[in-house]
Chain A
């Protein structure tokens, strides 16, 4: 049973009808191909309409869609011979951030990504993609490894934010994030980041200080969740829709602001309706970004990365 979002109701109804038709005529006595095709065309039109004008809040929901492809699926689809590397060598291994080495289209790369999990068990294992200091320190370690062996870094971002907990604070969550941003800005190798779903605040920017920052078409990236913003600025959590709009957190707005470098188109109806297509499209975009940086001196890459961030915010929407 597919998961439908609130605004996908008309689509759900139509698809339900198609299912019903197929079930009713399972014996093959009735020719329903025409009817199904007509309904399918209607579904496509409906999806096109709905997804053609998603509001910021609807995008937040799509970005959080439980069936949206997550980090692990992208790694499985894009990285050959992925070899996970664990631990921060200081305290623990944090499953909210996975990392390792492998080959991306033939080239050795270091991959760092936030994994939310896809069912209750794996969500708990990955702490819903909310990393603790050890996760960020693992990321730093992997960035240093990439730098030592001149391997490009690919980071995949999908988190509601860094984990807010006593243990995380006690072990220096703030320091861990700060040092990870610093590590990302420091490395002398090509660094590509992609926001897959949610780019949640400091937890996201920690691994996103990259040469090229890409976003999937319906991903969101924000300084605070719309709910958090609404409860602070509007003093009403139910104003999240308004806050989402005001925060300008969509890929389209962020491209205009010069905060990201490219948008990767999602299949009709969002990434959850075409996982393989989405994964391949992101692969192409990452490959293009890496190709652009090929042969450029590491010091130049680092200098350009810094210049890019220093220039940010010097123009408005």
Chain B
């Protein structure tokens, strides 16, 4: 052992490693296990080009994909009481929050932005699953209330995109209280005569599903998304049997009358533009009349 082996060699190794191929250039589809080139996956909005599996889309990417030309303005979320219960499990909640903030660069699990979709005003509140599983605590509730207020102020459509396991347990009862609060937010938009559209993405469960998420004027689900109230494990433990295949998936909800449609991510923007137009512009604008109806092509999932 010498100075050379202990110090110089690791340094050289570190230098060499940088020039090696980074292992994140290729992703593996969790559904079909095929390799996808990173850039291709991003270009496809994280839909597997092989099997059509919809992977989770980060909240920022979600905003980009929905607004015209990917242009939007985010609003700052209202300040809230951090850690109201002084909660501590195996870790302190404040530390968990800090870790989530460092990891995502966001203050909490929701992003609120406004802009235009098909030229029409829209406010989008997108959950960030990367932030504590998109769980709904006071900050998320405030985000939804703020998004609703903004939509009313701008006479805009409100689109909420949940991606959440449910309530933020570390905020105890106050996270449960976000259920009525988010319901009030949705109600304010409805009372103003504005469309309230919910885009259910993977996952939408627990207290999030049992509040604002199930109250959309229009409910759209992404293919394969898990949507439901009780977690699969809890149900299995209660009834002591295996759950049927496809249980609580978007297609299952469509079949059971719980959502209006299951829409491929590549068709989402076009669908939203059509819906918002139909709801808010009952007499179409001249240029729309002149245009032929766009042919909706659903990409073949099995291609």
Task: Give A contacts to B, CB under 8 Å.
Answer: 162-166, 168-175, 177-179, 181-182, 184-186, 201-202, 205-206, 209, 221-224, 228-229, 232-235, 243, 246-249, 254, 257, 259, 306, 309-310, 312-317
Q: What are some 23 contacts across the A-B interface (CB < 8 A)?
A: A163-B238, A165-B238, A165-B239, A166-B239, A168-B229, A172-B214, A172-B256, A178-B214, A182-B186, A209-B183, A222-B173, A223-B172, A223-B173, A223-B207, A228-B234, A232-B169, A243-B89, A246-B87, A246-B172, A257-B173, A313-B84, A313-B177, A315-B81
Write out the residue numbers on chain A whose beta carbons fall within 8 Å of the beta carbon of B256. Answer: 170-172
If A174-B228, A249-B173 touch, does A310 touch B184 (CB 8 Å cutoff)? yes
Residue pair B214, A205 in contact (C-beta under 8 Å): no
Residue pair B214, A175 in contact (C-beta under 8 Å): yes
Q: Which residue of A lies closest to B207 (CB)?
A: A202
* B35 in the interface (beta carbon within 8 A): no
Q: Which residue of B lies closest to A202 (CB)?
A: B210
Write out the residue numbers on chain B whose beta carbons fall within 8 Å of the beta carbon of A205. Answer: 176-177, 179-180
> Which 4 A/B pairs are nearest by Cβ-Cβ distance?
A164-B230, A316-B84, A174-B209, A233-B89
Cα separation A310 to B185 with both chains bound (whole Å): 9
Q: How far is the CB of B88 from chain A (nearest CB, A)?
A: 6
Q: Which residue of B lies closest to A200 (CB)?
A: B176
Beyond A166-B243, A316-B85, 18 additional contacts (C-beta under 8 Å) are A162-B230, A169-B228, A169-B229, A174-B214, A174-B227, A181-B183, A181-B211, A201-B176, A223-B173, A223-B175, A233-B170, A234-B89, A247-B173, A257-B84, A259-B177, A313-B177, A316-B83, A317-B86
Write out the residue numbers on chain A whose beta carbons fall within 8 Å of the beta carbon of B81. Answer: 313-316
Write out the residue numbers on chain B whose beta carbons fall within 8 Å of the beta carbon of A259. Answer: 173-174, 177
Residue pair A309, B169 in contact (C-beta under 8 Å): no
Task: Give B contacts to A, CB under 8 Å.
Answer: 80-81, 83-90, 138, 141, 145, 167, 169-181, 183-184, 186-187, 206-207, 209-215, 227-231, 234-235, 238-239, 243-244, 247-248, 256-258
Write out the residue numbers on chain A whose beta carbons fall within 8 Å of the beta carbon of B212. Answer: 178
Q: How far is the CB of B36 from chain A (nearest CB, A)?
A: 32
Write out the residue numbers on chain A whose beta carbons fall within 8 Å of the beta carbon of B230. Answer: 162, 164-165, 168-169, 173
Q: How far is the CB of A213 from chain B (nearest CB, A)?
A: 10
Cα separation A166 to B247 with both chains bound (whole Å): 8
Q: Which residue of A lies closest to B179 (CB)?
A: A205
Q: How far is the CB of B46 from chain A (nearest CB, A)?
A: 25
Cα separation A235 to B89 with both chains bound (whole Å): 10
Write out the residue numbers on chain B whose beta carbons fall within 8 Å of the beta carbon of A310. Answer: 145, 181, 184
Q: How far is the CB of A267 from chain B (nearest CB, A)?
A: 26
Residue pair A181, B179 in contact (C-beta under 8 Å): yes
Residue pair B184, A223 in contact (C-beta under 8 Å): no
Q: How far is the CB of A132 from chain B (nearest CB, A)?
A: 11
Write out the residue numbers on chain A whose beta carbons fall within 8 Å of the beta carbon of B172. Answer: 222-223, 246-249
Cα separation A171 to B230 with both chains bound (whole Å): 13
Q: How far is the CB of B206 from chain A (nearest CB, A)?
A: 7
Residue pair B85, A248 in contact (C-beta under 8 Å): yes
Write out the residue numbers on chain B whose beta carbons fall within 8 Å of the beta carbon of A178. Answer: 179, 183, 209-215
Q: How far is the CB of A245 from chain B (nearest CB, A)?
A: 10
Cα separation A163 to B228 with both chains bound (whole Å): 12
Write out the residue numbers on chain B whose beta carbons fall within 8 Å of the beta carbon of A179. Answer: 214-215
Residue pair B138, A173 in contact (C-beta under 8 Å): no
Write out the residue numbers on chain A whose beta carbons fall within 8 Å of the beta carbon of B186. Answer: 182
Cα separation A316 to B82 with both chains bound (whole Å): 8
The count of A-to-B residue pairs whose CB atoms sit within 8 angstroms is 172
Residue pair A166, B244 in contact (C-beta under 8 Å): yes
> Which residue in B179, B214, B248, B257 is a CB contact (below 8 Å) of A169?
B248
Residue pair B173, A164 in contact (C-beta under 8 Å): no
Residue pair B85, A162 in contact (C-beta under 8 Å): no
Write out the residue numbers on chain A whose beta carbons fall within 8 Å of the beta carbon of B178. Answer: 313
Q: Which residue of B lies closest to A232 (CB)?
A: B169
> Which residue in B167, B210, B227 is a CB contact (below 8 Å) of A177?
B210
Residue pair A164, B210 in contact (C-beta under 8 Å): no
Residue pair B179, A202 in contact (C-beta under 8 Å): yes
Q: Which residue of A lies closest to B82 (CB)?
A: A316
Write out the residue numbers on chain B whose beta carbons fall within 8 Å of the beta carbon of A313. Answer: 80-81, 84, 138, 141, 171, 174, 177-178, 181
Q: How far is the CB of B231 from chain A (nearest CB, A)?
A: 8
Cα separation A172 to B256 with both chains bound (whole Å): 8
Q: Which residue of A lies closest to B206 (CB)?
A: A202
Write out the residue numbers on chain B whose beta carbons fall within 8 Å of the beta carbon of A248. Answer: 85, 172-173
Q: How far is the CB of B238 from chain A (nearest CB, A)?
A: 5
Cα separation A234 to B210 with both chains bound (whole Å): 25
Write out the residue numbers on chain A whose beta carbons fall within 8 Å of the beta carbon of B206. Answer: 202
Cα separation A166 to B89 with both chains bound (whole Å): 31
Residue pair A306, B176 in contact (C-beta under 8 Å): no
Q: Which residue of A lies closest to B212 (CB)?
A: A178
Cα separation A181 to B185 with both chains bound (whole Å): 12
Cα separation A171 to B234 with both chains bound (whole Å): 17
Write out the residue numbers on chain A whose beta carbons fall within 8 Å of the beta carbon of B244. Answer: 166
> Which residue in B90, B138, B258 is a CB contact (below 8 Å) of A234?
B90
Cα separation A247 to B167 with both chains bound (whole Å): 13
> Which residue in B80, B181, B235 is a CB contact (below 8 Å) of A166?
B235
Cα separation A228 to B166 with both chains bound (whole Å): 13
Write out the residue numbers on chain A whose beta carbons fall within 8 Å of the beta carbon of B213. Answer: 174, 178
